[in-house]
Each structure stands twice: as C-alpha cells, then as structure tokens.
A and B are shown apart, each in its own frame.
Chain A
Amino acid sequence: MLDFSILTNNFDSFLEGLKITIISSLIALLSSFILGTLIAVMRIAPVKLLNWLGSVYIEFIRNIPVLVIVFFTYLSGNFGGMTAGTIGLTIYTAAFIAEAIRAGIMSVPKGQMEAARSTGLSYGQAMRMVILPQAIKIVIPPLGNQFINLVKNSSLLAVVAGGDLMYQGDLISAKTYITFDTYVFVALFYLILTIPLSLGVGFLEKRMAKSN
C-alpha cells in the first residue's frame, strides 16, 4: 500500500515542484515557439545563407540528447538551475517546433505568397500577415504534443538543481528513504499535467480533421 504520509508531510514541496515545472514548461514553450518560428522562416526564406543556418541548427540540436544541452547551459556558469534548464529546454524544443512550423508553412499553397507579394507586400509582411496565420492552425496539434514533451522533459531540471517536481522528489526520497512511493507521487503529479493536455490535443486533432 502506498504511503500517503509522504504526500501529506511534503505537500508544500510537491506543490513548489509542480509550480516550477509548470512555469518552466510555459516559458520554454513560449520562447521555443518564437525561436522555432524564426528558424522555420530562416529555413524557407529565399536566402541561401539563412536556409543553411536554419538547417544546421535543427540538425545539430535534434541530434544531441536534451540532457547534454541542459548541462552545457548550466555549465556555461551564467545561470541558476531553473533558468539554465529552461533555456536548455527552449534550445532543444525550438528545433522540433521549427520543423512542425516549417511543415505548416509548406502546406499553405504557394499561390498565397505570390498573391500577397503581387500586391506589393514584402516577403516579411506576407509571411507574417498571410502565411503564418494559416500555417499556425495546422501546427497547433503538433505544438500541443511538443508541450507535453516539454512538461516531461522539464524533469531534467532536477539534474541541475532546478527545483522542479522531479527535483523535489529527489529531495524527499533522500530525506525519507521511501524512494518508490515518492516517485509514484511524482509520476501522479506529472499525469495531472499531461493527461488533460493529451486529451486537449486529441480534441484539437479531431476538430482539425473535421474542418478539412
């Protein structure tokens, strides 16, 4: 039987961890969305150098374990655990979001860009006001999946003392020596976050499928 005293005695720690996990994931989601959009546009803009830089970023980052990226940001010595972890997650997730957004942009008919450009809009204006708003709709479900991954990956904050849910679990198990039960509660807290997200993504996917 699960030892509920672990939960009740350390409830504040769990809540603190939950809070940090949520904040870190949200900040990383927002920043990786902005960075990812930028990289996606770099990859398809009509400038060879930008295409190349975008590709290098994506190939490089996607093929390094996120744990290593988080370590590097932390070891750069400029940030505390939570900030370093969030930056690391952003750098990593941006590469995946960039690919999702690129796919979204590619799914917008080429004629949309041509129609916009032929009215005198610049490439940047056409991208911002015509193409991206259409691409984003298609990207929302994959973006939701990235958010779920982000919440789970944020457990890496623990390795740089980021104060998140996993980190609190580590502290509690070290204190109580009741390792298994502690991590069961940690897992349950993650599920509280990820299951609604997962249901939400499923709902969005269904609605998208219908509207097409």
Chain B
Amino acid sequence: MIEFKQVNKFYGDFHVLKDINLTINQGEVVVVIGPSGSGKSTLLRCINHLETISDGILTVNEISVGDKKTDINKLRRNIGMVFQHFYLYPHKTVLENITLAPMKVLGLSEKEAKDTAKHYLAKVGILDKAESYPSQLSGGQQQRVAIARGLAMKPEIMLFDEPTSALDPEMIGEVLDVMKALAKEGMTMVVVTHEMGFAREVADRIVFMDEGRILEEAVPAEFYENPREERARLFLSRILNH
C-alpha cells in the first residue's frame, strides 16, 4: 500500500533520509520511533507529499507520490494526517472543521457532511462538542476532533505524528484509545510515537530510525525485549528511564 524504494531526501546539504526501504501493507499498523532529529516526521510527511523526496521511488497504492502527473489533492483525500499540535481551524466550530474538506473536496452536501461528521464525532466520543470552537476544548478533545477531521474523508491510510506529545498526561489515554479502536478496525496506520503501551498492543511492526536511516524493523515484542541494534538498545534504555 505504501512503498519506499531506496528513498533519499536532502535539506540543502543535509541528508535527512538515507536509503529508506519500507513496505507498509493494507491494514498494517507501523510505529516509527527514534531519537529527536532522526527523520521520523520527515519520513511520514513524504507519504502525503508535505515534503518531497530527493530520489528513489515512493508509491501509495502503486501511484508515485512525487510524480508531476500525480494529482496530489486526489492522493491526499485517501491519506488522513494528525499532527502533534492538532492544527484545528480556530475560526471554525468543531463541526465546520470536520465538514470543510468533505464538502469542498468530495462535494458532499452540507447535510451529508454533517451526518458524517457527527458519526465520527460520536466515534471519538465528543459529539456534545460539535458546536464548540477549538479554543473551548481540552488538548485531548482537540486531538480527537483532529482525528475525526481526518476520518471524515474516509481515507484508507492515517498518519499520526506524535499525536500525544503535546498533551497533558491525563489526556493521553483518551486519544490512544481512539487510535487503538481505529487500528483494530483494520485502518492502515503509520504512527510516530514513543507510547510503548500503544505500540505493544496494536503495532504490527516497529521501525527504529536513527540519523536518517531505518536501523531496525521488528515486531513489538521482539523489538522491546531484545533489540538487535546497539543504538536501539541505548534509545530504549533512555526512554524507559525517564
């Protein structure tokens, strides 16, 4: 479904992604971890073309992401993205945040879009906040709205870039629960997160990155109990001991 073949990316002289080869199949949940600056966000953002790759091949559903002929807006309909800082539209209500793209991109009527939005709001457990503005919600609630906004486009793939890192500890659980439910329904997910409980419970694979390279790919149990790479070991001991 998502395939990186020998992908490299540079920011000027800085080599941020090095020889990335990675295949993510339909229905898989892949968790990406690694030290700060290792290129996790960049990897994720290449998938929906928020960043362009410098060379190699990156395909989503066999369609080349960077290709000039690819209709990027069409590709993106199929890929939801959730950011660390939510980025809800502050001038729009929760409902309007969610209905905007289905109406403007998919051409749904307002009624259809609202029904869809409410369905997903119920799913993430905050239907009662439909008419609120983002500033009136807690961080956890905002992130759940952001997830609903992504889901309302009915994408096949969801990308998450540290979705719980900006949240107060007591709100992390509610967001992870929504993500777990999504994973169990068979959504294809690529998640940058250091939440080990989440990774152990739903990830099919852990991808460990360091300095722009994928150093290790393994199933969670194997990775957390017995990482092959010395650097993965070091990294794990650091996040475990803090």
Q: Which A positions have Cβ atoms within 8 angstroms of B?
A: 109, 111-112, 114-122, 125, 129-130, 133-134, 137
Q: Which of B50, B74, B90, B153 contacts A119 (CB 8 A)?
A: B153
Alpha-carbon gap, A111 to B73, bound state (A) = 17
Q: In chain A, what residue has the closest Cβ to B74?
A: A120
Q: How far is the CB of A126 from chain B (nearest CB, A)?
A: 10
**Contact B73 A120, beta carbon cutoff 8 Å:** yes
Pairwise interchain contact A118-B73, C-beta atoms closer than 8 A: no
Contacts of B83 in A (CB 8 A): 111, 114-115
- B87:A109 contact, CB within 8 angstroms: yes
Task: Give the contact stretch, choosing among B29-37, B98-106, B171-179, B205-213.
Answer: B98-106
CB atoms of B87 and A119 under 8 A apart: no
Q: Are A118 and B50 interface neighbours, CB within 8 A? A: yes
Q: Which of B50, B77, B100, B149 contacts A114 (CB 8 A)?
A: B50
Q: How far, in whole Å, are A114 and B85 apart by their CA atoms in the complex? A: 12
What's the least CB distance linking B3 to chain A, in Å? 20
Interface residues of B in 41-90 (CB under 8 A from A): 48, 50, 73-74, 76-77, 79-81, 83, 85, 87-90
What's the dominant secondary structure at chain A's contact region? helix
Contacts of B85 on A, CB cut-off 8 Å?
109, 111
A112 B87 Cβ-Cβ under 8 A: yes
Does B238 belong to the interface (CB within 8 Å)? no
Check B91 for interface membership: any CB of A closer than 8 A.
yes
Residues of B in contact (CB 8 Å), total 25
Please list the residues of chain B having a beta carbon within 8 angstroms of any beta carbon in chain A. 48, 50, 73-74, 76-77, 79-81, 83, 85, 87-91, 100-101, 104-106, 146, 149-150, 153
Complex formed: what's the CA distance from A118 to B149 in Å? 11
Partner of A133, one of B48, B91, B101: B91
Find chain B residues with CB under 8 A from A121 CB. Answer: 73, 100-101, 104-105
Question: Which of B80, B89, B106, B149 is packed against the most chain A CB atoms within 10 Å?
Answer: B89
29 contacts between A and B (CB under 8 A): A109-B87, A111-B83, A111-B87, A112-B89, A114-B87, A115-B83, A115-B88, A115-B89, A116-B89, A117-B50, A118-B48, A118-B79, A118-B81, A118-B150, A119-B76, A119-B149, A120-B76, A120-B77, A120-B105, A120-B106, A121-B100, A121-B101, A121-B104, A122-B73, A125-B104, A125-B105, A129-B104, A133-B91, A134-B89
Do B100 and A117 touch (CB < 8 A)?
Answer: no
- Closest Cβ of chain A: how far from B144's Cβ, in Å? 15
Given A114-B50, A125-B104, A129-B100, answer yes or no on A119-B91 (Cβ-Cβ < 8 Å): no
The reply to whether B76 and A130 form a contact with Cβ atoms under 8 Å apart is no
CA–CA, A117 and B83, complex, Å: 13
Q: With A120-B153, A121-B101 as given contacts, are A115 and B87 in contact (CB-CB < 8 Å)?
A: yes
The residue on B at minimum CB distance from A134 is B91
A117: min CB distance to chain B, Å:
7
Q: Are B80 and A118 in contact (CB under 8 A)?
A: yes
| Closest partner residue, chain A, to B150 (CB atom) | A119
For the A-B complex with A115-B81, A119-B101 known, give 15 more contacts whose Cβ atoms are closer than 8 Å. Answer: A112-B87, A112-B89, A114-B50, A114-B81, A116-B89, A117-B50, A118-B79, A119-B77, A119-B149, A121-B101, A122-B73, A125-B104, A125-B105, A129-B104, A137-B91
